[in-house]
Amino acid sequence: MIKVEHLSKHFGKVKAVDGISFDVNEHENLVLLGTSGCGKTTTLKMLNRLIEPTHGKVFINNKNIQEQQPEILRRGIGYVLQNNGLFPHYTVGENIAIVPQLLNWDKKQIQHRVSELLEKLHLSKDYLNVYPNELSGGQQQRVGLARALVADPPVLLMDEPFGALDNVTKAKIHAEFKALDELKKKTIIMVTHDVQEAFELGDRICLMDRGRIIQQGTPTDLLFNPRNRFVEGFLKEQRLLLEFRAITPPPPPEGGTLRLNGKVLPPDVSMWWVMEQFKFKGNESISVYDDRDKEIKKLGFEDLMLAFYQYKQQKTHE
Ligand SMILES: Nc1ncnc2c1ncn2[C@@H]1O[C@H](COP(=O)(O)OP(=O)(O)O)[C@@H](O)[C@H]1O
Ligand SMILES: [Mg+2]
């Protein structure tokens, strides 16, 4: 859906972005990960033409974005700015309604859409007439997201959307983010410097350094097939946690189910999630059931750890 070819941006002698290429599939969430100054924001702004590239091309839906009017292009691209970028002198309602106003929606339609989004993003209607600085950081982020989603654009660009939040709020918003139906049909490029966030939310990750992409791949690609020392070093401190989050339990046999303490496990749970379910009371276990609802295998916490260890061994030697 999005194709970036040899994209560069030079500011005088500074190569902010230095010949990067990547693709994003429809409905995929691609994360640009890297430390401050590596070129993430500049890359994002070239995708909606807030910055014009020095070299290279961008195609969205097979159309070269250079050949489109920037205003028309941006109608199809929601943008969540770094530090939320809300207008301080506009109320929450006015901030969210900016794009629909530009598009001349009628008043009723705007009201309806704004209330719908407030509800989906767990914001009370009482905030409609409140100014952004009266809200908590988490609430401001939600308003920023609502503003980007309001006209239902197929593409969403998010620049450090959760960067300013404390860890507890961040974890909560991550969970909501993953559950939000409006986001499931979007093609998303998200920028972050937070490794855990990248692993939690990204289908694929481009790890950047000094304007270049050092490696792109799935979280498990980066963990188990790092291209070089830089990638290894970047993930080193949080490695064990990242592994637990990136690895999912093996699928059950055909027609069978995996259950933990009686509950069927959803298909995309991480090892970490499973571990968290163990309350370490009595003899808890995960059970594998066959299609006639007959228990065929029981695994305790230690069995799980052993399976994890074996999986890692196998991955590292692939
Ligand atoms: N308008 C600009 N003029 C000059 N240098 C810039 C400009 N914008 C960004 N840069 C430089 O480009 C590099 C990348 O910046 P940026 O894309 O904002 O990085 P990131 O978002 O990864 O922190 C930095 O060295 C920054 O100082
Ligand atoms: Mg930035």
One digit per residue, pLDDT tens: the chain, 318 residues?
999 999 999 999 999 999 999 999 999 999 999 999 999 999 999 999 999 999 999 999 999 999 999 999 999 999 999 888 899 999 999 999 999 998 999 999 999 999 999 999 999 999 999 999 999 988 999 999 999 999 999 999 999 999 888 888 888 888 888 889 999 999 999 999 999 999 989 999 999 999 999 999 999 999 999 999 999 999 999 999 999 888 887 777 777 777 776 777 777 788 888 888 777 666 677 777 776 777 777 878 888 888 888 888 887 777
Mark out the alpha helices in 121-203 (DSSP H runs): 137-149, 167-179, 181-184, 195-201
162, 139 Cβ separation under 8 angstroms: no
246 Cβ below 6 A of ligand 1: no
Mark out the alpha helices in 180-295 (DSSP H runs): 181-184, 195-201, 219-224, 229-236, 239-246, 271-277
Residue 181: how many CA atoms within 13 Å on its side-chain side? Answer: 4
CA dihedral 257, 263, 267, 271 (to 10 degrees): -110
11 Cβ below 6 A of ligand 1: yes
109, 88 Cβ separation under 8 angstroms: no
Taking the CA of residue 82 as reference, the ligand 1 atom at the shortest distance is: 21
Give ranges for CATH 3.40.50.300 in the chain. Answer: 2-245
Nearest to 172 by CA among 213, 137, 147: 137
In the structure encoding, which two tokens stand for residue 85, read together? 């970028």
In the structure encoding, which two tokens stand for residue 240, read together? 């064990």
φ and ψ at residue 302, rounded to 5 degrees: -65, -35
Q: Point out the ligand nearest to the CA of residue 10.
A: 1
Taking the CA of residue 208 as reference, the ligand 1 atom at the shortest distance is: 22
Q: Whose CA is nearest to atom 24 of ligand 1?
A: 37
Q: Point out the ligand nearest to the CA of residue 43.
A: 1
- Cβ of 22: how many Cβ atoms within 10 Å? 17
Nearest to 47 by CA among 206, 217, 197: 206
Q: Point out the ligand nearest to the CA of residue 18.
A: 1
In the structure encoding, which two tokens stand for residue 120, read together? 């989906």
What are the residues facing 11 on neighbouring strands?
A: 14
pTM (2 decimals)? 0.89
CATH of 2-245, one of 3.40.50.300, 3.30.410.10, 3.30.300.250, 3.30.2130.10: 3.40.50.300
Residue ranges near ligand 2 (ion) with Cβ within 5 Å: 41
Largest CA distance in the chain: 69
284, 268 Cβ separation under 8 angstroms: no
User: Which pLDDT does position 277 carry in this prediction?
Assistant: 75
Q: How far is CA 264 from CA 22, 252, 259, in A?
A: 37, 11, 4
- E strand or H helix at 309, and its extent? helix 301-317
Question: What's CA 244's distance to the chain center, in Å?
Answer: 18
